[in-house]
């Protein structure tokens, strides 16, 4: 989890998952790709092929930028990259963050292929219509490849660390931590899973969730149709 800095325009001081937005560089047609194809992902995500491809590339790129975990490996899909701890990778990440390079260029230079098979599609949330900033967000999960380790170098976070889902949910319930509803729901699903492997093996039914304001006896509340 990343604990975002208080100066962020969106979700300041909140606990969030690593992630971010689609970048123009994510459209690079020559990006080396292994695993389920964009066509297969489009069917799974109920979207068009180009959009599905952008979502997967953006997810892999953002996780690398924010945590140092790179979901890439050999062309045949049988091996995942085991180590990105060399200082040179920090420079590569900085160049990605500064948009001096694209994930496609990084993979080509390193002789690597994006591993889409390491991702599991979990949820699709869109910000309520009344919000000034609106986001159409896809959520994924993955197991960190053996030999890699997440770090806390993201400039968007004042802290980054592993947390037990149940512990963080208890902090939110007690008012000691802040999270947006999609993060809460995803953490509740994680907390209910018997293991990380079992969670990744699930193929949950995913539909777009758009919370709406509803007038109730207790006043205005946000309601959503969850899968």
pLDDT of 130: 87
Q: Where are the domains of the chain?
A: 19-153+193-223
Mean pLDDT of 52-79: 91
Owner of token pair 């770090």: 151
pLDDT digits (tens, 9 = 90+) for 132-176: 888 999 999 999 999 999 998 888 788 899 999 999 999 999 999
pTM recorded for the entire structure:
0.92
Q: What is the pLDDT of residue 78?
A: 67
Find out whether 199 and 113 touch, Cβ atoms under 8 Å: no
Q: Of 150, 121, 141, nearest to 208 (Cα)?
A: 121
Band (pLDDT 50/70/90 cuts) for residue 77 is low
Mean pLDDT of the residues in the chain: 92
The Cα–Cα gap between 78 and 83 comes to 16
Say if residue 11's pLDDT is above 80.
no
pLDDT score recorded for residue 86: 86
Torsions phi, psi of 219, nearest 5?
Answer: 110, -165
């Amino acid at each position: 989890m990343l604990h975002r800095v208080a100066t962020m325009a969106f979700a300041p001081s909140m606990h969030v998952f690593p992630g971010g937005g689609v970048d123009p560089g994510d459209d690079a047609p020559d990006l080396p790709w292994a695993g389920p194809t964009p066509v297969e992902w489009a069917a799974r995500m109920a979207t068009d092929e180009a959009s599905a491809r952008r979502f997967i590339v953006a997810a892999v790129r953002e996780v690398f930028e924010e945590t140092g975990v790179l979901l890439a490996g050999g062309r045949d899909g049988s091996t995942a990259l085991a180590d990105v701890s060399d200082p040179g990778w920090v420079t590569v990440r900085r160049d990605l963050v500064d948009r001096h390079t694209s994930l496609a260029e990084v993979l080509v230079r390193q002789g690597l292929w994006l591993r889409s098979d390491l991702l599991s599609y979990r949820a699709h949330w869109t910000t309520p219509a009344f919000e000034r900033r609106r986001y159409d967000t896809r959520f994924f999960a993955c197991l960190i490849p053996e030999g890699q380790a997440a770090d806390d170098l993201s400039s968007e976070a004042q802290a980054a660390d592993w947390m037990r889902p149940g512990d963080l949910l208890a902090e939110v319930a007690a008012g000691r931590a802040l999270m947006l509803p999609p993060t809460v729901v995803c953490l509740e699903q994680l907390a209910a899973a018997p293991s990380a492997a079992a969670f990744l093996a699930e193929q949950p039914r995913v539909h777009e969730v758009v919370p709406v304001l509803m007038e109730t006896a207790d006043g205005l509340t946000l309601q959503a149709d969850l899968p």
